[in-house]
Structure 1
Amino acid sequence: MSDTAAPQTDTTASAQTSQELDASPERQPSPATDAPQPRATVNRSTTPASSAFAEYIGSGWADRDEKIPAPRPAVVSAAAHRAAISQRHPGERLIVPAGRLKQRSNDTDYPFRAHSAFTQLTGWGSDSEPGSVLVLEPTAAGHDAALYFRERAGRDSDEFYANPEIGEFWIGPRPSLAQVAGDLALSTRHIAELQEVLDAVDESTLIVREADEVLTAQLDALRLVQLDDHDADASAEDADAVLARDLSELRLTKNEWEVGELRAAIAATARGFDDIVRELPRIGDHERGERIIEGVFNARARLDGNAVGYDTIAASGPHACILHWTRNNGPVDPGDLVLIDAGVEVDSLFTADITRTLPVSGTFSEPQRLVYEAVREAADAAFAVVRPGIRFREVHTTAMEVIARRVAEWGMLPVSAEEALQADQQQHRRYMVHGTSHHLGLDVHDCAQARREFYIDGVVEAGMTFTIEPGLYFQPDDLTVPEEFRGIGVRIEDDILVTEDGAENLSIAIPRTADDVEAWLARERV
């Protein structure tokens, strides 16, 4: 059945419960396809083990809700991505895992987040099941897609009440094969049947390697055995890298639905910034005020989305000069600036990435305003050049021209701005060592495995979404900087959509000029 045919569940898997599959004496467990057993809790377990208890807890339940949902809006975008990757890899079997739970400590795990390539091709976002695997099996017409995951066990199974990692008594309801098939418009199969795919591994089988290390290791071992070629391992890794590269490059431009998800993430992020501004007066009362900022924003991310798209940076005073300050354990003192770099990840897993720098007392000092407006000038200049047909690197180059000119005017450079801008000079980069832009989407640094000629050296196209985020960071102990500037760090970051004839600043509604920021703080404090 082709990928565009009506979705259906695999009848063999749906006819058996996961208990029957797991209990079958003929079937040997596979470490790559079966969910791992719970980490040892036997020394503190009080779960009854009697047959009377098992019989009693497995009976007397109301029928489950077996309603099959209508396909979610993401399925059209996911199908388009599958069709595109199918065209790039004819005749090759493609394995795209969601990934597994990652241990935080002992028997606790980090919240699960599926690999972006898996979500890209399935549309399964914040509600995806750990250990799931998408397989695109080559056919004469392209590829057939099948989604393998561990279906919920029956209530007559001890998994239901005794498995704290996947049991519904512990983590809540889990979907059936049929429900996921309807929801994602994909054929679905029990994870146990993935072994049949692995048994058929040949030189045409590719995998997204970083998504599931255990499954990748098993696949590599099977390649060595089945292909009987010890050079196959390196060549297979190269071929796998091409798959990851192609999936990244397919995300360089976004479709209408994907742009809509980014708009939703940005709108939620804007509400999070409003929440922070309203809390600024009390934030200064705590010795870890940065933590309060982080917590306030995280609350909004959980209310309006799935989570934060990355660790929030809440950097006050000289901490703002540390580019990825995520300890967030410092005070937020009156008179300082606080740099907040944060983004909400919505349930589709698309994330915003926005930075605003706020005066804690409500108004900028003269040096703070001077630095702030220089950064905004650089951001505005970069935005002004964005349109289809330019090279992506021109965005950064344009912002750097402003940065070099301003720090030269302030007497910080040993050479002129023009000299500093030469490729073999670059002294102005002391005060802004990072780049101005990166692509944005399912990952905060999206499309990271795309080739350089399609990324930094690539031609900008309509539908691309990326950041513009110049900054200036004057370390408190930097003797090349006039004293009144030391300890000031400013970044302004916006999320940009390239249109057919220019660009749209998707985050323009969040105040960004110095005057508008001051008015924003005054308004929210009333």
Structure 2
Amino acid sequence: MTEATDAPTSETPEQPLEERGSNRSRRPSSRAFREFMASSWAPAAESPLERSEVADHSERRRAAISEQFPGDRLVIPAGGLKVRSNDTDYRYRPHSAFAHLTGLGSDVEPDAVLVLHPVFADDPDGEGDAGVPAGHEAVLYVRPMAGRESEEFYGDARYGEFWVGSRPSLEEIEKLTGIRTVHLDELPDAVGKDVGQVRVRVVPDADQVTSNTVDALRGAHEEHAENDAKLAEALSELRLVKDAWEVEQLREAVAASIAGFEDVVRALPRAAEHARGERVIEGVFGARAREEGNGIGYDTIAAAGDHATTLHWIRNDGQVRHGELVLLDAGVEVDSLYTADITRTLPVDGTFSETQRQVYTAVLDAADAAFAAARPGVRFREVHAAAMAVLAQRLAEWGLLPVDVETALGEEGQQHRRWMPHGTSHHLGLDVHDCAQARAEMYLDAELRPGMVFTIEPGLYFKSDDLAVPERFRGIGVRIEDDVLVTADGVENLSAALPRRPEDVEAWMASLAQG
């Protein structure tokens, strides 16, 4: 990677650029060099940007959150760059709440901040009620790209166009989002305006720099943390029901992910011959994710053999052995930042053994029971209960439970959870575990509503050293995960194009091998 420095000169150095939290070093440059760098550049091309298709949806989302906090100033940062190592950063991704309210995805620039400024109406009835909250005005605070006559252009390895490429102007962002956009430098004064009379809330943990700025303006009070948490909670709950545009983004993410699974099946022979075959699988899926979208929505789980019994196996450094299973849990994140989350458990050689099929079928039956239970009006946690009832019954039939099924399913039992310790479902959207800060009464205890999107993903995991199960089960881990959309009368399996039944999985793998 190119070192972030200028060539040394013998001239007296001028003051260095502001470091902006970076540990990058830079060397002084001569006046002649600076003048030459600023000259002979063609005019910037006119931007083809138009108002995006998501802008109207984002506007409705902002209106919905505005109604919940009348009179408050709401600060929603995109977040800044995060250092990976020394002077290299991770690939940038904005905070999900910011993306949801602006419609900006992988094209947004770091450090941007959305602020919903409260608007107050004059006394509408002449009774002295001046200052009545009347909604919010949205303003985007963004660092614009510096001109090519500036040192930032060539000398700032974190933000300079020469280093990281061009970015849209304030006018272009305003045209794209429909949100008034101004320079980031105006943020402190705008947030601090009337800070004594207006409550300021900021999304916690989104961007420490912005949080520090807000805290310096509003002072230190314990109530601020609670107020901020309420904002994060409301923003999370706002995403529980997806609009039509969001559903379409999720469909695109699922379609790209299915293509990635097909790529992996074709690569299984190569994976089986590689010393770290799990890395082959991870790499093949990751290539599809980058080609078709922004990247992976979360670290890919490519777990072969006993590794499949580790729920979040992301080391992916193991062998892929003939005769074993591979559990692939992966999802493509599209450019809008919506992600799929799909799992299939595949026989390396294309055919399930008798025991593998037995375990796989039990998990599939549990998933089918969850599908049958999921419909509007059913509580979210009831989907999990339906799947667990099937798994407990199968474990009892196999002689693995130390108690009867009814006892195991009771609050004082739960012995079946030794082999299925996770939940069956979670919401899905901008985050793979979307809406995670929602209240329990809005999530686990809430009734399903049309427009909700979540996973159904039961599993069974028999570790190789588990002496509570017969030897033939040991080292087998199976999970089947699909992404579902709640409709008016049930659910739609968005990932239905990926085979689920064992005989269909075998036929699908065979067809890909032949192709």
TM-score (norm 2): 0.92
Paired residue type of 2:109: E
Say yes or no: does 1:40 pair with 2:20.
Answer: no
> Which residue type is aligned with residue 403 of structure 2?
V
CA contact under 8 A between 1:35 and 1:150: conserved in structure 2? Answer: no
1:418 aligns with 2:406: yes
3-state secondary structure, aligned to 1:453: helix
Give the CA deviation at 1:76: 1.6
Q: Is the 8 A contact 1:341 1:353 kept in 2?
A: yes
Shift of 1:66: 2.9
Q: 1:516 aligns to what SS in structure 2? A: helix
Task: Work out the CA distance in 2 between the residues paired with 1:344 and 1:409.
Answer: 38
Deviations 1:449-470 (Å, cap 9, x if unpaired)?
1000010011110100000000
CA distance in 1, matches of 2:359, 2:300: 23
Whether 1:168 aligns to 2:168 is no
- After TM superposition, give the deviation of residue 260 of structure 1 in Å: 0.2
The aligned amino acid for 1:506 is: L
Distance 1:363 1:144 in 2: 59
The secondary structure found in structure 2 opposite 1:327 is coil
SS of equivalent to 1:245: helix
1:202-256 CA deviation, whole Å, 9 max, x = no partner? 45110001110122123223222xxxxx5x2x10110111111001111000000
**Among 371, 390, 393, which residue is 1:405 paired with?**
393
Please tell me the residue identity of whatever aligns with 1:400. M
* SS of structure 2 residue aligned to 1:450: coil
Equivalent-residue separation in structure 2 for 1:35 and 1:78 (angstroms): 34
* Residue 365 (structure 2) pairs with residue 346 (structure 1): no
Q: Is the aligned partner of 1:97 residue 2:77?
A: yes
State the distance in 1 between where 2:116 and 2:46 align.
Answer: 27
Deviation string for 1:121-160 (max 9, x for gaps)?
0000001100000010000331100101100001100100
Q: After TM superposition, which residue ranges in structure 1, 4 or more long, deviate above 4 angstroms?
A: none
Corresponding position of 2:474? 486
Map 1:461-472 → 2, pairs under 5 A: 461-472=449-460
Which consecutive unaligned segments of at least 5 residues does structure 2 have?
A: 1-17, 121-133
Counterpart secondary structure, 1:145: strand
1:120 aligns with 2:100: yes
1:179 aligns with 2:164: no
Tell me the residue number matched to 2:244.
Answer: 256
For residue 86 of structure 1, the aligned residue among 41, 52, 66 is 66
Between the aligned partners of 2:180 and 2:97, the Cα distance in structure 1 is 18
Superposed displacement of residue 174, structure 1: 1.2
Q: Deviations over 1:308-343 (max 9, x none)?
A: 000000000000000000000000000000000000
Question: 1:62 matched to which residue of 2?
Answer: 42
> Which residue does 2:264 correspond to in 1?
276
Corresponding position: 1:337 with 2:325: yes
- Quick check: 1:247 aligned with 2:235? yes
C-alpha contact (below 8 Å) 2:279/2:316 kept by paired residues: yes
* 1:218 paired to 2:220: no
What's 2:4 paired with? none
CA distance in 2, matches of 1:388, 1:369: 32
Matches within 5 A, 1:303-342: 303-342=291-330
**Could you tell me which amino acid in structure 2 is paired with residue 196 of structure 1?**
D
One-letter amino acid of the counterpart of residue 187, structure 1: R
**Equivalent residues of 1:350, 1:441 under 8 A apart:** yes
Q: 1:109 aligns with which of 75, 78, 89?
A: 89
Are residues 1:384 and 2:372 paired?
yes
Q: Distance in 2 between matches of 1:156 and 1:143?
A: 37
SS of the equivalent of 2:364 reads: helix
| Contact 1:68/1:182 (<8 A) preserved | no
1:37-59 Cα distance to aligned partner (Å, 9 max, x none): 642324xx5xx611111111101
1:206 to 189, 198, 201: 201
Question: What is the aligned partner in structure 1 of residue 181 from structure 2?
Answer: 188
How far does residue 419 in structure 1 lie from its aligned partner after superposition? 1.5
Contact 2:427–2:435, Cα closer than 8 Å, also in 1: yes
Choose which of 50, 68, 71 in structure 1 pairs with 2:51.
71
Aligned counterpart, 1:25: none
Counterpart code for 1:404 = A
CA contact 2:188–2:213 (8 Å) conserved in 1: no
Distance (Å, rounded) in 2 between the aligned partners of 1:55 and 1:222: 40
CA distance in structure 2 between the aligned counterparts of 1:40 and 1:278, rounded to whole angstroms: 43
Structure 2 SS opposite 1:284: helix
What amino acid sits opposite 2:369 in the alignment?
Answer: A
Quick check: 2:94–2:110 contact (8 Å CA) kept in 1?
A: yes
CA distance in 2, matches of 1:76, 1:299: 33
Aligned-partner SS, 1:210: coil
Q: CA RMSD in A?
A: 1.4
- Corresponding residue SS for 1:138: strand
CA distance in 1, matches of 2:88, 2:114: 26
- Letter of the aligned partner of 2:23 in structure 1? R
SS at match of 2:454: strand
Cα separation, 2, equivalents of 1:145 and 1:35: 30
1:68 CA drift (Å): 5.1
Q: TM-score w.r.t. structure 1 length?
A: 0.90
Determine the structure 2 residue equivalent to 1:14.
none
Per the alignment, residue 151 of structure 1 pairs with: 144
C-alpha contact (below 8 Å) 2:192/2:218 kept by paired residues: no
For residues 508-523 of structure 1, the aligned pairs below 5 Å read 508-523=496-511
Q: CA offset at residue 198 of structure 1?
A: 3.3
Q: Which structure exhibits the higher relative contact order, with contacts defined as CA atoms closer than 8 Å and separated by 6 or more residues?
A: 1
Alignment correspondent of 1:30: none
Please tell me whether the aligned partners of residues 38 and 164 of structure 1 are also in contact (alpha carbons under 8 angstroms): no
Mapped to 2, the partners of 1:86 and 1:35 lie a distance apart of: 36
Q: Distance in 2 between matches of 1:67 and 1:420?
A: 63
> What's the offset of the Cα at 1:35?
7.7
Q: Provide the C-alpha distance between the structure 1 equivalents of 2:286 and 2:44, rounded to a whole number of angstroms.
A: 34
**Cα deviation code 1:66-113 (max 9, x no counterpart):** 325111112122111101000111100000000010000000000110
Q: Distance in 2 between matches of 1:115 and 1:133?
A: 10
SS of the residue 1:382 aligns to: helix
Tell me the matched-pair count: 484
